[in-house]
Amino acid sequence: MDSKQTVLQKLNKKSISAKDIANQFWCEKQMELYYTHPAKMTYAMEQGSAIHGKMQEEVYVPLTVEPTSWPDRLYKSAYENLATLSTLLKDKLAREFKIYGSLHGYSVVGQIDELRMVNGKVTIVENKTTDPGRKLESEYIRPHVVQVMLYRWLMDDIKNKQYQYQNFSISYHSDTLKLSEKFIEGLNSIGVKEDLMTLNGIYNKMFNAVVALPELNNNLLVHYLDRRTRQSITEMNVPYDPKAMNKDIIYAMKYWSGEREASPVPESEKWKCKICRFYGKECTAWWTG
């Protein structure tokens, strides 16, 4: 990698996704190669996306005004996040909440699959598709645990006001962005109040709505579904452990800061290589051919 080129520049990214951080704990080298050697979506990925889409439709209230610019799309995310939180408080269940935050000075973004009200507390749920009968060994579930705990970490930062609109605005330059005239006309047509027809207004309200949520549950959930039928297989309880999460964040961010190169799986987990499309090609870490 060019010493003058950052990891984000190398991967053509402006922010780090929570999913990528989680995938570092499956195989960091594979995560990187998916960006440097992109390929078409696999059938398994398509199945997973379809299931997530169908689950979202069950409780989703989208913004009916079509965005035509990047600022419009940013606005749409905050508007729909507010609708998601309203649905959570009303129906005790909501899906697809876009989460923003910062880790070690880097912008991080993610999409929480599900929020549930359980015993009066907001519970974060990560939905994963798998094959029935598959053994959920620790190496397999490790990225899922990291992902759901990272979402809790980012939600904590917002609720504790460590990450608010001011932080978001600096990262996304939202104070300088203007909504398109056509989009504003659409917002007017559906009765959006004037003070909420700016990125400043809508995001301030969104962050304040997260702060006002009931207490976050320390018991997180990873929900496994059959990738073909959508039927529930099992739910795994994940106790929130901020000390363990902080340790994982420190390790992960050393890659993004350029302090170290992407690591392949350890020798004890090289069985993963046999199901990786880069094995023996772009990656030869454990290649024996």
Tokens 């959920």, residue located: 136
Residues belonging to the chain: 289
pLDDT at 284: 95
Can you tell me the distance from the alpha carbon of 148 to that of 127, in angstroms, rounded to the nearest whole number? 10
Q: Could you read off the pLDDT of 220-269 as tens digits, one per residue?
A: 999 999 999 999 999 999 999 999 999 999 999 999 999 999 999 999 99
Instruction: Answer yes or no: pTM beyond 0.85.
Output: yes
Q: What is the largest CA-CA distance in the chain?
A: 65
Q: By C-alpha distance, which of 101, 21, 97, 12 is closest to 56?
A: 97
Q: Would you tell me how many other CB atoms lie within 10 Å of the CB of residue 62?
A: 12
Long-range (24+ apart) CB contacts under 8 A made by 88-92 are 88/115, 88/116, 88/117, 88/122, 88/213, 89/117, 91/59, 92/116, 92/117
Q: Could you read off the pLDDT of 172-205 as tens digits, one per residue?
A: 999 999 999 999 999 999 999 999 999 999 999 9
% the chain with pLDDT above 70:
91
Q: Could you read off the pLDDT of 113-152 as tens digits, one per residue?
A: 999 999 999 999 999 999 999 999 999 999 999 999 999 9
DSSP 257: T
Pairing status of strand 219-226 against strand 121-130: parallel
Q: Could you read off the pLDDT of 16-33 as tens digits, one per residue?
A: 999 999 999 999 999 999
| pLDDT at residue 48 greater than cutoff 70 | no
- Cα distances (angstroms) measured from residue 129 to each of 2, 188, 231: 38, 40, 10
Angle at 227 between CA 226 and CA 233, to 5 degrees: 15
Domains, the chain, ordered by start: 15-275 (3.90.320)
- Cα distances (angstroms) measured from residue 279 to each of 3, 27, 107, 115: 27, 12, 31, 37
Can you tell me the distance from the alpha carbon of 14 to that of 231, in angstroms, rounded to the nearest whole number? 36
